[in-house]
Amino acid sequence: MKKNKIIFWSLLAAIPMLLAVAGCKKFLDRKPLTATLQDLNQGALEGQVLGMYSNLRTLAGFSLLPWIDFHSIRGDDAQKGSDNTDGNEVITEFDTYQYTKDDWAPNTYWNDHYAMINLANEALYTAVDSLKVSDAASLRNIGEACFFRAYSYFELVKTYGDVPLINFKVKTAAQGIVPKSPASRIYEFIDSNLQAAVSLLPVSSSEYGAGYDGRLTKGAANTLWAQTYLFRSNWARVAALCTEVIASNQYSLVPNFSDIWRTEGENGPESIFEMQAYVGPGAASNSAVDFGSDWGTSQQVRRNGAPIEWNLGWGWNTPTDKLVSDWPADDPRKQQTILFSGQNDGGRDLGGFGANVPAYSNPAGTGGLAQKYWNKKLYTGNDPTIRQSTGYINASGAARWINHRILRYADVILMLAEADNELGNGAAAAENLELIRNRASGNKGPLRTIVPKIDFVNQAQMRQAIKDERRWEFAMEGYRFYDLVRWGDADAVLGPLGYTHRARFYPIPQKAIDLSGGVLTQNPEW
């Protein structure tokens, strides 16, 4: 896997600078590309598509703090974390739902998703309008661009509701100023893009050739498509798409839950799609081998006024007291997901390294850890072998090598369980739920006493069991807030934290409205 990462990132490094920076410019600030027709060939198209993979790693709206703010901190199981001197505005804005219309994180989230859409539009213009490609490699590239465009619009529509639909190459700033389209139209556009992606993408990333672990597949497109139907409660389509992913025989559950998150678990059998990061030996002093991401660094253990040891990162996205108290003590995933300050990390079977974690102490500057609990799914950033090899010892770069697990097979199984239950097939739902719970128990079988088997009693009972299972299986991964919203549970669960119904959607950034000259309008409740 490591060798393939080196090949993949060497190819990314070779992308012409024009393409490398294209996706990073802000929406409405884009200048048209000036490449001539002679420049446009299959290699250029490939470069544009590889730039979209780079965007997942480098644009903050996809794998850094803005993504964490929107996906994780708005739920009841995660909080800002860090220490009392760092990012307190996030507590107000995301932990207590006092949204702002003009702040760095929401502006970045909006801009970065439209930057990705813009890059996808340019690639599709290159492929379809300029080159009129028909070779197999270029058709795969079209499938990749369609996936990234659908992925970006899905993030936007579930976050903002109605948003501008731009499905063409923007050649002038004025062309990028369009009014919002209704969410139903956005979903139709997502459907058309994912239908194309499914038809054009390969079954396995091996079909791209050696060194391309992590590139998009039919399974990724079908999984994302199922997620979009989940948000629309179209249970028949969810079931059909999840069944197709399962029938492909490309994926399986990893026997040990903790192994998903270890470095050797990257692009493993449970992985459907990951943001790829690579940091080579000596990267701390040699940027040429650093294709890392602050996705991992941002969520590492943070020490107050600490020496280098245990000051591993920024300390964001930490578990809440409520998650710790609600989670059944006999579920091994609790210890595999939550790292407790002042305790041993539990060793390999529980996702640790056999280290004794320093105690929590507050306020800042006292030398203890800044939070009581940490996201253990990112704790691989404490791998002493990799830290020494890369030279990234502390918060300046620790854990930059961690991939972001965006789509994994467990979600396919639980989506199918939820769909089957809503379609009146509770027995099948229970069977799929059991796959997840048995793995969580350590594969102890149906007669186990920990994480016990749950039999179907009635639809309401199974519905709640599936909701609970999603909470434990995907804790700290960014599912919780959006699950609560789509279930209609957000008012009851998040209300005590300050949530009101209008907080299901975020206000459109005021800067985007101002740049549009009023063509773009604010969400009605804001």
In a domain, 50, yes or no: yes
Mean pLDDT of the chain: 90
Q: How many domains does the chain have?
A: 2
Tell me the CATH number at 173. 1.25.40.390
Do 201 and 320 lie in one domain? The reply is no
pLDDT for residue 295 is more than 60: yes
Q: How much of the chain, in percent, has pLDDT values that exceed 70? A: 90
Which residue carries 């139903």 as its tokens? 184
Q: What is the pLDDT of residue 55?
A: 95
pLDDT for residue 40 is more than 50: no
Do 205 and 319 lie in one domain? The reply is no
| Residue 205 burial (C-beta neighbours within 10 Å; 0-12, 13-18, 19+) | buried
Do 317 and 204 lie in one domain? The reply is no
The two tokens of residue 120 are 């996808």
| Cis, peptide link before residue 358, omega less than 30° from 0 | no
In sequence order, what are the residues at sequence separation of 6 or more whose Cβ sits closer than 8 angstroms to the Cβ of residue 302?
81, 82, 83, 311, 312, 313, 314, 315, 369, 370, 371, 395
pLDDT for residue 468 is more than 70: yes
Q: Reduce the secondary structure of 204-272 to three states and give it as a string.
A: CHHHHCCCCCCCCCHHHHHHHHHHHHHCCCCHHHHHHHHHHHHHCCCCCCCCCHHHHCCHHHCCCCCEE
User: Rounded mean pLDDT of 176-185?
Assistant: 97
Domain boundary among 216, 246, 277: 216
| Residue 488 burial (C-beta neighbours within 10 Å; 0-12, 13-18, 19+) | exposed
The two tokens of residue 5 are 């990462």
Do 303 and 210 lie in one domain? The reply is no
User: Rounded mean pLDDT of 84-92?
Assistant: 82
Predicted structure pTM score: 0.92
Listed range (32-41, 343-352, 403-412, 495-504) with the worst mean pLDDT: 32-41
In sequence order, what are the residues at sequence separation of 6 or more whose Cβ sits closer than 8 angstroms to the Cβ of residue 373?
318, 319, 324, 338, 339, 340, 341
CA angle, 448 then 449 then 451, to 5°: 90
Q: What is the pLDDT of residue 129?
A: 87
Q: Which amino acid is residue 347, in one-letter code?
A: G
Q: Which amino acid is residue 360, in one-letter code?
A: Y
The residues pairing with 344 across neighbouring beta strands, listed in sequence order, are 356
pLDDT for residue 188 is more than 50: yes
In a domain, 465, yes or no: no
In sequence order, what are the residues at sequence separation of 6 or more whose Cβ sits closer than 8 angstroms to the Cβ of residue 353?
345, 347, 382, 383, 384
How does DSSP assign 138-151, residue by residue?
HHHHHHHHHHHHHH
Domain boundary among 165, 183, 216: 216
User: Rounded mean pLDDT of 332-337?
Assistant: 98
Q: Per-residue pLDDT tens for 96-108?
A: 999 999 899 999 9
At 25, the pLDDT band (50, 70, 90 cuts) reads very low
Q: What is the pLDDT of residue 85?
A: 79
Q: What is the pLDDT of residue 363?
A: 67
In a domain, 91, yes or no: yes
- With contact defined as beta carbons under 8 Å apart, do 198 and 237 qualify? no
- With contact defined as beta carbons under 8 Å apart, do 376 and 317 qualify? no
In a domain, 457, yes or no: no
How does DSSP assign 170-213, residue by residue?
--SGGGG---EE-HHHHHHHHHHHHHHHHHHS-SSGGGG-TT-T
- Measured in whole angstroms, the distance separating CA 420 from the mean position of its chain's CA atoms is 25
Do 315 and 200 lie in one domain? The reply is no
Q: What is the pLDDT of residue 396?
A: 65
Residue 357 domain boundaries = 299-402
pLDDT for residue 257 is more than 90: yes
Do 212 and 318 lie in one domain? The reply is no
Listed range (74-78, 231-235, 388-392, 444-448) with the worst mean pLDDT: 388-392
Do 206 and 349 lie in one domain? The reply is no
Q: Which amino acid is residue 229, in one-letter code?
A: Y
Q: Which amino acid is residue 190, in one-letter code?
A: I
- Measured in whole angstroms, the distance separating CA 117 from the mean position of its chain's CA atoms is 17
Do 190 and 304 lie in one domain? The reply is no
- H helix or E strand, kind and range, residue 463: helix 459-473
In a domain, 186, yes or no: yes
Distance CA 331, CA 61 (A): 33
Longest dimension (CA), the chain: 67
pLDDT for residue 23 is more than 60: no
- Measured in whole angstroms, the distance separating CA 33 from the mean position of its chain's CA atoms is 29
Length of the chain: 526
Q: Per-residue pLDDT tens for 215-239?
A: 999 999 999 999 999 999 999 999 9
Which residue carries 């409405």 as its tokens? 28
User: Rounded mean pLDDT of 111-135?
Assistant: 94
Of 288, 401, 283, residue with least CA distance to 2:
401
Domain boundary among 216, 237, 265: 216
In a domain, 521, yes or no: no
Q: Reduce the secondary structure of 106-134 to three states and give it as a string.
A: HHHHHHHHHHHHHHHHHHHHHHHHHHCCC
Distance CA 289, CA 360 (A): 35
In a domain, 441, yes or no: no
Q: What is the pLDDT of residue 35?
A: 40
Q: What DSSP designation does 369 have?
A: B
Do 188 and 327 lie in one domain? The reply is no
Distance CA 300, CA 369 (A): 11
Distance CA 433, CA 463 (A): 11
Handedness of CA 184, 188, 190, 191 (dihedral sign): positive
Distance CA 398, CA 99 (A): 31
Distance CA 482, CA 411 (A): 14
User: Rounded mean pLDDT of 412-441?
Assistant: 99
In a domain, 237, yes or no: no
Listed range (9-13, 120-124, 130-134, 308-312) with the worst mean pLDDT: 9-13
Q: What is the pLDDT of residue 30?
A: 27
Do 159 and 304 lie in one domain? The reply is no
At 22, the pLDDT band (50, 70, 90 cuts) reads very low
Q: What is the pLDDT of residue 306?
A: 54
